[in-house]
Amino acid sequence: MLPLLLAVTEATGHAAQPGMIETFGIESKYIIMQAVSFLILFAVIYKFGIKPTISTMEERNAKIESGLKYAADMKAKLDAAQQESAEIVKQAQIKAGEIINEARASAKDFLDKQTQEATAKANDLITKAQQAIELERRKTLAEAREEIARLVVATTERVLAKKLSDADRAAYNETAAQELTVV
């Protein structure tokens, strides 16, 4: 590389105007030495400064890229977990709706059953009450007939002004009862 650099400096030296190198006091050997010093300094700085910095930056870029990839994976997992939880909530709502519908149907069936039982009990009570009323009515009628027969006999005794014997009284009672039964 050095011979190439010397050739370039000689070519530039011949092509330059003759008064320029002498005017500024530039000597080619010093320029070459400064170029070589610069190249050595550049090589040292590159090896111990720039190259480690570049490798550190590449490591950081790799870590950042890895972190971004991990974040993207976690976001995908989070999205999947959210979808799964949304599906679970949806299934729970559907199941809750089914349970509510079953409870409503069960309550309706229970209410219908209770209503039917209450209606049957009420009808049974009404029937028993009607039977009791009918029995009481017959008993009252029988008592009323006996009382009317007794009153008829008592009235007849007073009208006839005589005392009847037990046989006559029984006959009058039977006759009065038969006549009242017809009425």
Distance of alpha carbon 124 from alpha carbon 130, whole angstroms: 10
- Look at the alpha carbons of 21, 23, 25, 31 in this order and tell me if their dihedral is positive or negative: negative
| CA angle in degrees (0–180, nearest 5) for 109-111-116 | 95
The series of mean pLDDT values per 10 residues for the chain, 183 residues long, is 62 53 76 93 93 94 94 93 94 94 92 93 92 91 82 72 70 78 65
8-state DSSP, 162 = S
Q: Name the helix (H) or strand (E) containing 163.
A: none
Total domains in the fold of the chain: 1
Predicted structure pTM score: 0.40
Answer whether 28's CB lies under 8 Å from 9's CB: yes
Distance of alpha carbon 116 from alpha carbon 104, whole angstroms: 18
pLDDT at 79: 93
pLDDT at 16: 45
Which token pair is 37? 């010093």
Which token pair is 143? 């008592």
Domain with 104 in it = 2-182
